[in-house]
Amino acid sequence: MSPREEPIEATAEELNGEFFSLWPTADKARKWNAVRALKGEIPAKPAERTITGPLLIGMSKAAELLGTSRPTLWRMCKRGIFEKVEILPGSYRLRRSDLEEFVKAGTPVRTEKPGGA
């Protein structure tokens, strides 16, 4: 296996940090693999996570996690990107799994409009 095809045994986060801290001392093959992984030309090992925390997240916290405002998050719900869960009359939450899926995919979770239209 040539140095250019060597598999990456690190997560994307590790590569990103390593890229800047070890670049001056890295050998040519490691530099080449790091640049290709950062460009998305070769896959990096996905980061393993243990999911902890609440299953449902309030609208303010969900907006904060997504880096957006509450009004934008509500518009996303109205467009069917997220399905809100009403836990009490007028009190809504979003599923943590929907937020994670949205971030992971970079695309909307729901494609249907509310009401089945």
Dist CA 7 CA 1 (whole Å): 9
Dist CA 44 CA 61 (whole Å): 30
Q: What is the pLDDT along the chain (117 residues), one digit of tens a residue?
A: 444 555 556 665 565 565 556 666 767 777 777 777 777 777 656 656 666 778 899 999 999 988 899 999 999 999 998 999 999 999 999 999 899 888 887 755 555 555 554
Give the per-residue pLDDT at 11: 61
- Can you name the residues that pair with 94 across neighbouring β-strands? 57, 84
From 23, 28, 29, 25, select the one nearest 6 (Cα to Cα). 29
Can you give the residue ranges of every domain in the chain? 3-39, 56-116
Phi-psi region of 90 (alpha: psi -120 to 50; beta: other; left: phi over 0): left
